[in-house]
């Protein structure tokens, strides 16, 4: 079975339970929200690719917020939960939106794509010269820990995804006419443990060497060779 179909079946199967799952691990997801919101202002237009049931998009700043996902079940729930937001059932490899966005978010989805370069090339359709693309992805060093969490029932079992390094993503962005200009690593403990999580994530995670062990990696990128007079306000 192709990777697309495996992930499609998986997300369709968990769509009904996903809002509860998101809330269970909201400490982790809100850290991603806080990181993204640092670069978003209230007047920005925001596109989230792989929006799931809409919880993350709902918490992001921005004036016009749009979410897309390839799972009809996820999108149906997102529309019910957040009727003031705009959602579309759409494949990232074939974007059909007739507008440009100031900020584009891809949160923990690049490993699900069969061809990441195809997705990055599609992003040019919805980008202007000052668009900021924020990619959040798992550190591959965490794969054994995440698999252990699945075995213990602490994390939902997911199909095998592509584990891409920082260099892999930067190269793919370059081939897709995007320039990676900022990288960040965050989160040593992805669940809330009073005092302990704050100590590890706020202080220890910033130390050299230890920083490379963080779960979540971020890449900020901008398009090149796109002719547009639009800009982020």
pLDDT in tens, 68-82: 999 999 999 999 999
Give the residue from 228, 11, 40 showing the smallest Cα distance to 128.
228
pLDDT in tens, 39-91: 999 999 999 999 999 999 999 999 999 999 999 999 999 999 999 999 999 99
Cβ atoms of 30 and 59 within 8 Å: the answer is: yes
Phi-psi region of 101 (alpha: psi -120 to 50; beta: other; left: phi over 0): beta
Question: Mean pLDDT for the chain?
Answer: 91
pTM of the model: 0.91
pLDDT band with cut points at 50, 70 and 90 for residue 1:
low
The sign of the dihedral angle between the CA atoms of 181, 22, 54, 83 is negative
Which residues partner with 46 through β-bridges?
Answer: 65, 103
pLDDT band with cut points at 50, 70 and 90 for residue 228:
very low
pLDDT band with cut points at 50, 70 and 90 for residue 231:
very low
Reported as type and span, the H/E element at residue 100 is none
Grouping H, G, I as helix, E, B as strand and the rest as coil, residue 88 is strand
Q: Tell how far CA 92 is from the center of its chain.
A: 12
Query: So what's the pLDDT on residue 120?
Result: 97
């Amino acid at each position: 079975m192709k990777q697309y179909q495996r992930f499609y079946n998986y997300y369709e199967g968990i769509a009904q339970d996903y809002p509860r799952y998101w809330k269970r691990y909201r400490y982790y997801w809100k850290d991603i929200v806080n990181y993204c919101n640092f670069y978003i202002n209230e007047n920005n237009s925001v596109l989230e690719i792989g929006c799931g049931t809409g919880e993350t998009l709902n918490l992001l700043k921005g004036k016009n917020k749009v979410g897309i996902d390839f799972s009809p079940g996820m999108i149906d729930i997102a529309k019910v939960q957040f009727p003031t937001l705009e959602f579309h059932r759409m494949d990232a490899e074939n974007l059909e939106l007739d507008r440009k966005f100031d900020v584009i978010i891809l949160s923990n989805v690049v490993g699900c794509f069969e061809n990441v370069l195809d997705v990055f090339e599609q992003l040019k359709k919805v980008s202007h010269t000052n668009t900021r693309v924020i990619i959040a992805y798992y550190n591959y060093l965490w794969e054994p820990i995440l698999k252990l969490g699945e075995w213990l029932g602490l994390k939902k079992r997911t199909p095998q995804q592509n584990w891409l390094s920082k260099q892999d993503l930067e190269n793919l962005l370059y081939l897709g006419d995007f320039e990676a200009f900022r990288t960040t690593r965050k989160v040593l403990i992805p669940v809330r443990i009073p005092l302990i999580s704050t100590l590890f994530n706020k202080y220890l995670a910033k130390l050299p060497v230890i920083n490379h062990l963080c779960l979540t990696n971020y890449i900020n990128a901008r398009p090149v060779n796109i002719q547009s007079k639009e800009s982020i306000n």
